[in-house]
Amino acid sequence: MAFELKKLNNFNGRRGPLLFVIMDGVGIGKRDESDGVFVAQTPTLDNLEKSAFYTALQAHGTAVGMPSDADMGNSEVGHNALGAGRVFEQGAALVSASIEQGDVFKTDIWNQLTARVKNNENFLRSHSLAQKDNASSDVRVSLDNVQKTLHFIGLLSDGNVHSHIDHLLALLKKCASIGVKKVCVHVLLDGRDVYEKSAVKYIEQTENFLSSLNEEFSVDYKIASGGGRMVTTMDRYNADWSVVKRGWDAHVLGKGRFFSSAKEAVETYYSEDAKMTDQYLNSFVIVKDGKPVGTINDGDAVIFFNFRGDRAIEITRAFEEKDFKEFDRERVPDVLYAGMMQYDGDLQIPKNYLVNPPQIDKTVSEYLCANGIKSFAISETQKYGHVTYFWNGNKSGYVDEKMEKYIEVPSDRIQFDQAPKMKAYEIAEETIKLLKSGEFKFGRVNFPNGDMVGHTGKEDAIVTAVETVDACLGKLIATVKELGGIVVVSADHGNADEMFTISKGKKVVSTAHSLNKVPFAIIDSGYKNEYVMAHLSKQGLSNVAATLLNLLGFEAPKEYDPSLIKFV
């Protein structure tokens, strides 16, 4: 069969289960006060570091399919690499190449989007009203009334995790050069993958660029609405649909707090709350003469320019689903909608997209199901999709429901620094039940704390988050040892390991993922000198899949990157 695995001649695995623990956002930092993992009390991790089966893996840059090693990793690409066993060129690289080579502008959907908003003016000019020599002012008013708009919605930063501002600017310039007269940009502010109070920098860069296009091409391009990513538009995994509703209200309906500019909105929110950071800024609407400058209306076109899928799916559903029931949309404009990429290939969300996503096949889950290995996956809502959807190569649902069990522990709807333990203990207890059931040979679990709390930049909360994960990890290791199994521990990228940096002698809070390597460890209750660490010259997350299959007693598929262990 296509997914048949060969058994190893000299190793059959252990009688107990193999558990893979992903400590999301727990990297290997500088081992100083900036390193939340180092500062935290972590007896479990400390013991693992002393083991002969401990090493470090690269979890960013080219090791996970990003354009360069200056690019941070993220949970999406990290889990893709972990679950697929090799590196696929990822969203940022795919989009950059498509724009640079001009391929994105040759697609049918790009032509449809731009033609939709250009043809209105052509239609008017073809009518008799536009031919009257003495009706120029009337014509101008009529054109303003019917001229349709191309809207861009997305995360405004150069974090290169969900989006990149350079992609947006390139698309805007192309629009202006081909005669798209009216564009509105709806900016989602970051402060999470970049410095926590950097929104004004990106807004000013965008405003200056729009002004230059307006002057050079005689177009009308402007920012129309926005808000912080954690409270406006970019919810994921159905965690809090009120986030999406705030975005819908601002972008589509023009409902929200009014400001004369995006910069004014940000600076006002800062002045009202000195502790406010960009990701939590409330939604806002830009107005002129008391009216919103850019609501989304019938006949318009919309591009969601994020390339990463998890926080793009819900707003896409709000635009595309006729029987949408998650909140009252009040008004549903007839628009042509497209994503930068297709965010869910199985569910075809969205229907239209500009750049094809990586085609990931032959995942670990497919091999396990085909070879009769029953498995489970568990996390809380915030990372549930990472150990399912992303792990399975950006595919929704089960690979084989008879062979798998997925469990989602509902996340709290609260800022994570306020509850840094999150649902780690609940996840651990549920995992222990699954392990002790004797039903599953393999399981994977994600503890989100290091990443989700790491993004807040709150040092005390980060330390608590890491200590919580360490305690839960200790419980799981003890259980698997009792069952005669193996535990493999790693992370998808760093975050909690870099709470701040020092710039010009000043502490700068770091809420983004780090560029640090991540730990990898094996705890084998029945080890009898069958294997040793391979110590590869280059080793990253993509080497984990082959290792897991080896520890289950199988040879890795030939297309997988090499295992981190070798048999002796």
User: Which residues are catalytically annotated?
Assistant: 75
Among candidate residues 465, 467, 441, the one with its CA nearest the CA of residue 452: 465
Separation CA 88–CA 189 (nearest Å): 28
* ω into 17 cis (within 30 of 0): no
Tokens of 167: 């992609």
Q: Is the separation of the CB atoms in 59 and 518 below 8 Å? A: yes
Strands 336-341 and 353-355 turn out to be parallel
Q: How many CB atoms lie within 10 A of CB 474?
A: 16
Task: For the chain, give the number of residues.
Answer: 568
Two tokens at 408? Answer: 């989602």
Alpha-carbon separation of residue 415 from 16, 302, 421, 497 (angstroms): 38, 30, 12, 20
Q: In DSSP terms, which residues pair with 503 in a beta bridge? A: 506
Interatomic CA distance for residues 546 and 88, integer angstroms = 16
CB atoms within 10 A of CB 62: 17
29: Cβ–Cβ under 8 A, 6 or more apart, which residues?
35, 36, 37, 38, 494, 497, 498, 514, 516
Pull the structure tokens for residue 432.
């222990």
Q: Could you give the CA distance from residue 155 to residue 166 in angstroms, rounded to a whole number?
A: 11
**Three-state secondary-structure class, residue 78:** helix
